Amino acid sequence: MGENINELISNLKTYLEYLKGMGIISIPVSDDILEELTPSKILTLEMVRKELGDCKRCKLHRTRRTIVFGEGNEKAILMFIGEGPGNEEDVQGRPFVGKAGQLLTRIIESINLSREEVYIANVIKCRPPENRNPEPDEIESCHPFLLRQIHVIQPKIICALGTFSAQTLLNTNAKITALRGKIYDLEGIKVIPTYHPAFLLRNPDKKREVWEDMKKIAEWLNNSRINEME
């Protein structure tokens, strides 16, 4: 790895000198490339939040009260990603604090973790009017910021809550019923899709399946702790 990077830098230097020789003394660099070049260590959630600013990138800014960025441990091993803020979240500016949120808190505690130990975010950061489903353009506008949050936190596991989260993270149109029960890989991060807590409130008989998914997560966390001790 180290050698490859040295070679890359050397080649890049040669190339830049070649450009300079041709009279090209500056090159436009897109934000995307700059981001690639920024080591994850120096990018912080605070910086991502600052960049998001008083976001007006999609139409939801007109009706939202607050931006619900996400909260929890910046170094979390486990991250939960929901759909988008509801009314209570929109009022408080915090994710998962309404009825579904209280259930999520209990789900997290069922595997002996606290909300403070994990990180909780959403696919979209502003509440859609009347809690309608997020629209593709809204998901697209917000996606780079979700990816940046994941990039900073570098979780080992993401638990995707519900259809929109699972579909967005896994880039698929498959239904949550088809997606859950399996473990997916997102650039080295395990993605475990499960039912959304709001869905569980309406379908309590599905709690058993979520419990199965949580046990899988807990087992994986325990094994990775044991491996770290060895």
Which residues in this chain contact ligand URA in the complex, by CB under 6 A?
A: 82-86, 89, 95-96, 98, 100-101, 122, 162-163, 176, 195-196, 198-199
Sheet holding 189-194, edge to edge: 71-72, 119-122, 78-82, 157-161, 189-194, 184-186
Rounded to the nearest whole angstrom, what is the least distance from the CB of residue 66 to ligand URA in the complex? 12
Of 29 and 201, the one with the shorter C-beta distance to ligand URA is 201
Q: What are the structure tokens assigned to 10, written together?
A: 């050397």
Of 96 and 119, the one with the shorter C-beta distance to ligand URA is 96
**Rounded Cα distance, 209 and 186, in Å:** 22
Of 155 and 162, the one with the shorter C-beta distance to ligand URA is 162
Element (H, E) at 189: strand 189-194
Nearest residue to ligand URA by CB is 82
Q: What are the structure tokens assigned to 162, written together?
A: 């519900």
Of 43 and 105, the one with the shorter C-beta distance to ligand URA is 105
Rounded to the nearest whole angstrom, what is the least distance from the CB of residue 210 to ligand URA in the complex? 9
Say if CB 60 and CB 130 are below 8 A apart. no
Rounded to the nearest whole angstrom, what is the least distance from the CB of residue 172 to ligand URA in the complex? 14
